[in-house]
A and B are shown apart, each in its own frame.
Chain A
Amino acid sequence: DTGVSQDPRHKITKRGQNVTFRCDPISEHNRLYWYRQTLGQGPEFLTYFQNEAQLEKSRLLSDRFSAERPKGSFSTLEIQRTEQGDSAMYLCASGGSSAYEQYFGPGTRLTVT
Chain B
Amino acid sequence: QKEVEQDPGPLSVPEGAIVSLNCTYSNSAFQYFMWYRQYSRKGPELLMYTYSSGNKEDGRFTAQVDKSSKYISLFIRDSQPSDSATYLCAMSGFYGQNFVFGPGTRLSVLP
Contact = CB atoms under 8 A, between A and B. Distances in A.
Contacts of A99: 31-32, 92, 94-96
Nearest to A6: B43
Interface in A58-113: 91, 93, 95, 98-107, 109
Contact of B96 (A42, A43, A91, A101): A101
Interface residues of A, number: 28
Interface string B11-54: 00000000000000000000110100000011111100101000
Interface size for chain B: under 10, 10 to 19, 20 to 34, or 35 or more residues? 20 to 34
Interface in B63-111: 88, 90, 92, 94-104
Contacts of A40: 8, 103-104
B7 to A, nearest CB: 13
A99 B104 CA distance: 22
B49 A100 contact: yes
Contacts of B97: 48, 50, 55-56
Nearest to B32: A100
B89 to A, nearest CB: 8
Contacts of B44: 43, 91, 104
30 contacts: A31-B96, A35-B101, A42-B4, A42-B103, A42-B104, A45-B100, A45-B101, A48-B98, A50-B97, A55-B97, A56-B97, A91-B43, A91-B44, A95-B96, A99-B31, A99-B32, A99-B92, A99-B94, A99-B96, A100-B32, A100-B34, A100-B92, A100-B96, A101-B46, A102-B99, A103-B46, A106-B42, A106-B43, A107-B41, A109-B41
Interface of B: 4, 6, 8, 31-32, 34, 41-46, 49, 51, 88, 90, 92, 94-104
